[in-house]
Amino acid sequence: MKKSEVYSSYPDAHDLTGELQFQLAQGKIWLGEQRVVLMPLSALATFRKEVLTTIGMERTKAFFMRLGYSNGISDAELARKMRPDSREMDLFMAGPQLHMLRGMVGVEPITVEFDRETGHFYAEMLWLDSWEAEICLSDLDMPSEPACWSLLGYACAYASSILGQEIIWKEISCRGCGQDKCLIVGKPAEQWDDCEEFRKYFKEDSIIEELYELHSQIDVLRKDLYATDAFGDSVGRSEAYKRVCDLANKASTSNVSILLTGETGVGKEVMARGVHLSSQRSNEPFVAINCATIPPDLIEAELFGVEKGAFTGASRSRKGRFERADNGTIFLDEVGELSPRAQAALLRVLQEGEFERVGDDKTRKVDVRLIAATNENLEEAVKAGRFRADLFYRLNVFPVEIPPLRDRRQDIPLLAEHFVKKFEALHSKKTMGFSNRAMNALVAYNWPGNIRELENVVERGIILAENRSHIESSQLFRYIEECEDDIPGAAVTDDGGLAPVGTATDTHLVDQLLDADFDLEQLENDLMAKALERSGGNVSRAAKLLGLTRPALDYRLKKSGIGKG
Ligand SMILES: [Zn+2]
């Protein structure tokens, strides 16, 4: 049996260095037959970093391994040409020598042994001052695993090409990830347990194909997004929100009427649709109507339909919303706005399941599940005689209060990201999400318009943000300054950021007040009155708006005489 060749020392490298030639007049550098270029390491560092952020760790690793691979293949070609008649070990060692000549790494062989006939190959080498490790060491984000990817690709390609069998090298330790040295071990592929996995790095996976694939998926998703947005916008993980969802879930299994309460924009319709979709009526119509947007004298006709000739302009008979919602769910938003006649008709349809169209004698039957919503205090409306008590009790069988967004701040990032996805799809844009500063501002803001306001603000941000950039706070909150200038809760601070009123050192506002010759007591009273108005008379919520405890606000209210009629 022929003895394996074992490495002892590097052969003379003059044959290789002589191949490196500069053609200054032509602007070319050659290594053998190959044109090469000089490039500063810093440029390569930037390049590698950019690739990393663009396509991620695994892909970048494969990308650089293949870069090294093609380099190793061509150096093997050069080596064969330069050392055609050398001992096989000298031919083999031209690889590390060329690697050094290229300035990529110093190579110090520890063990190299091979026997071409038996296919035996085993080698260990030290890599000194690898260019890739050097880049990693100067980067703040140090990788957590060996990072000399292109070098490794080079070694695999070169050894496999020279020896005529597949050799795989692995980096056992790497300075690039904080270890004390770059140590590589090379063996025939089949001697590595995970060689299949490793081979994948050398396969070209077309990112373009994947992009096309993703594109068509986005088209499908975009269509779905608007077809089934119902549960989509119902996002949250806060305790307050989970309690509401539990309640709504319980309600959805029965046919009970639900009364959704909460400030404007908290997502009552989304919740109503969610209840509908998780109920047995999900395949039947969901009809939503906002009672406040329809003139009182037309609301009955809108809800229950109209017979031809019932009034001027009723030239044709038509179905009302209840008929259209038959077997399904009807959502009546701002139900407190219904006229007394409409309230009576609504009560009847809830109790008897029957109604008449306006101007018609014929009694019709419907099977409709009612979800009503209001942002006013219906109990107060009953006391004031504006809302029928019997209808209120009928509606209030299953009340669900949806908390305002400021009481579930931990859901803000989740909701904001959700709207980013939605509007990126809608506007065919890709951002890098919110800047840290923008996210802080979103969470700090008081959101008097609740989720609807958040949705509008995020859409605005998506439209204003540059493609592939972060959404910045100025792109979100310019909108609020321009359009909603009476909103308290957030103020622009001296450094241009947003902070909730109360913690903001808003000298601008203070100056304005002082210039306006204001009265401190009057201002305090006005603020309390406004907060009570916004909270619908709920003292605890008003206290929260003002940044006070409830007892503190109680005390001040008593002192000022507000809230006593
Ligand atoms: Zn390394």
Tens of pLDDT, residues 297-343: 888 888 999 888 777 666 778 888 999 999 999 999 999 999 999 99
> 423 CA distance to ligand 1 centroid (A)?
43
Q: Is the pLDDT of residue 1 over 50?
A: no
Which DSSP symbol is given to 295? -
Which single residue is written with the structure tokens 């602007």?
A: 27
pTM above 0.85, yes or no: no
Instruction: Over range 151-160, report the average pLDDT.
Output: 94
Instruction: Give residue 138 CA to ligand 1 midpoint distance, Å.
Output: 14
Between 470 and 190, where is the model more confident? 190
Mean pLDDT of 500-512: 59
Query: Cα of 178 to ligand 1 centre, how many Å?
Result: 9
Task: Give CA separation, 100 vs 47, 97, 105, 107, 430, in Å.
Answer: 22, 5, 5, 7, 42
pLDDT given for residue 526 in this prediction:
86
Q: How confident is the model at residue 213 (pLDDT cuts 50, 70, 90)?
A: low
Span from the CA of 128 to the centroid of ligand 1 (angstroms): 8
Cα(489)–Cα(263) distance, integer angstroms: 16
CA distance 119 to 465: 59
Residue 12 per-residue DSSP state: P
Q: Work out the average pLDDT over 160-170.
A: 91
Nearest C-alpha neighbor of 439 from the set 477, 403, 393: 477
Please report the pLDDT score of residue 436 as a whole number: 79
Cα of 108 vs centre of ligand 1, distance in Å, is 13
Q: Are 271 and 248 in contact (CB under 8 A)?
A: yes
Q: How far is residue 395's CA from residue 372's CA, in Å, rounded to a whole number?
A: 7
Whether the CA torsion 505, 508, 509, 512 is positive or negative: it is: positive
| Bridge partners, 123 (sequence order) | 112, 186
CA of 13 to the centre of ligand 1 (A): 24
Can you tell me the distance from the alpha carbon of 73 to that of 61, in angstroms, rounded to the nearest whole number?
A: 18
Question: 8-17, 86-95, 449-458, 470-479: lowest mean pLDDT where?
Answer: 470-479
Residue 244's pLDDT band (boundaries 50, 70, 90)?
Answer: confident
pLDDT of 247 over the 60 cut: yes
| Rounded average pLDDT over 100-106 | 94
With 0-12 / 13-18 / 19 or more C-beta atoms within 10 angstroms meaning exposed / middle / buried, residue 377 is middle
**For residue 131, how far is its CA from the centre of ligand 1 (angstroms)?**
9
CA of 193 to the centre of ligand 1 (A): 21
Show the tokens assigned to 339. 């006229």
Instruction: Provide the pLDDT for residue 180.
Output: 94
Please provide the average confidence, as pLDDT, over all residues in the chain. Answer: 84
Whether residue 25 is predicted with pLDDT greater than 70 in this model: the reply is: yes
Check pLDDT > 90 for residue 94: yes
pLDDT of residue 97: 96
pLDDT exceeds 60 at position 483: no
| For residue 491, pLDDT beyond 80 | no
- In angstroms, rounded to a whole number, what is the distance separating the alpha carbons of residues 359 and 301? 9
Q: Other CB atoms closer than 10 Å to residue 100's CB: what's the count? A: 16
Q: What is the mean pLDDT of residues 221-233?
A: 49
What's the CA gap between 561 and 69, in Å, rounded?
83
